[in-house]
Amino acid sequence: MNKVALVTGAARGIGLATTELFLAAGWQVAMIDRDVPALDSAAAPLEGAHAFYCDVSDPGEVAQMVAQVTAHFGRIDALVNNAGVADFGPIEETDFQRWRTVMATNLDGPFLVTQACTPALRATKGAIVNIASISGLRASTLRVAYGTSKAAVIQLTKQQAAELGEYGIRANCVCPGPVRTKLAMAVHTQEIIDAYHDAIPLNRYGSEREIAEVIVFLCSEKASYVTGQVVAADGGFDSTGVGLPALRR
């Protein structure tokens, strides 16, 4: 029987690329998103995929969605907590509502969806991949909510690995560097794009596919003894301490 991956935020960007790669590898995919028209049009041409509407920050919707996915597919072998929102702003302008909006999707979402999927993942000795960010590994200005939410996702992954390992469930975290998705382009000005190119050893943004390759690998049998790990797919950004353009040859 084909394995089943549940991918949140699957209507576009990294989640859609991950869905396509799972399908190419012979998996079936439960595509989860709250953007109904975008999810419908993304899922329509994809054989082996099925769309489920859900806001991952809402406990009731999450419980209902996971019940629908298990009723439809009968199993869940991998969970990719990818749905995320970005909101960059100075600390003094990040009011509580902006903070909560970021935390609700980026942190509450992976907590809730993982908890709801745990019985199904126990049955398959499945895998979890949480999508954090280089912003969770390195601090910068304007990311008090986003960066903190992603650092928390890194720790959440380790908690999940520590506790769910006993059931044979693996949990790992992927930290993408900048990728030209709708999320990134909404908060990256041309100045930010140029600065990233300067600071990243590979001198460029990543592609959705390059991030998806790491996610699908970590969900696969090839990574069967890998758990609790944080993998940056970031062109080397995290490894560079003093990335000053002036120090380049």
Residue 121 · residue 170 · CB < 8 Å: no
Least CB distance to ligand NAD at residue 89 (A) = 16
Residue 25 or 192 with smaller CB distance to ligand NAD = 192
Closest Cα partner for 130 from 240, 241, 14, 40?
14
Taking the chain, what is the end-to-end CA distance rounded to the nearest angstrom?
A: 54
C-beta closer to ligand NAD: residue 6 or 168: 6
Give the nearest distance from C-beta 202 to ligand NAD in angstroms: 14
Closer CB to ligand NAD, 101 or 124, in the complex: 101
Among 214, 116, 226, CA closest to 169: 226
Among the listed residues 146, 167, 205, 225, the single catalytic one is 146
Buried b (16+ CB within 10 A) or exposed e, 107-136: bbbbbbbbebbbebbeeeebbbbbbbbbbb
Nearer to ligand NAD, 35 or 210 (CB): 35
What is the bridge-based pairing of β-strands 49-53 and 170-176?
A: unpaired
Distance of CA 89 to the CA centre of its chain: 22
Catalytic residue list contains 167: no
Q: Smallest distance, Å, CB 148 to ligand NAD?
A: 13
Q: Please identify, using beta-carbon distances, which residue of 9 and 89 lies nearer to ligand NAD.
A: 9
Round the CA-based radius of gyration of the chain to a whole number and report it: 18
Shortest approach of ligand NAD to residue 35 CB, angstroms? Answer: 4
Residue 113, Cα to own-chain centre: how many angstroms? Answer: 12
* Least distance in angstroms from the C-beta of 230 to ligand NAD: 13
Binding site for ligand NAD (CB under 6 A): 8-9, 11-15, 33-35, 38, 54-57, 82-86, 105, 109, 131, 133, 176, 178-179, 181-184
Q: Which residues are catalytic?
A: 146
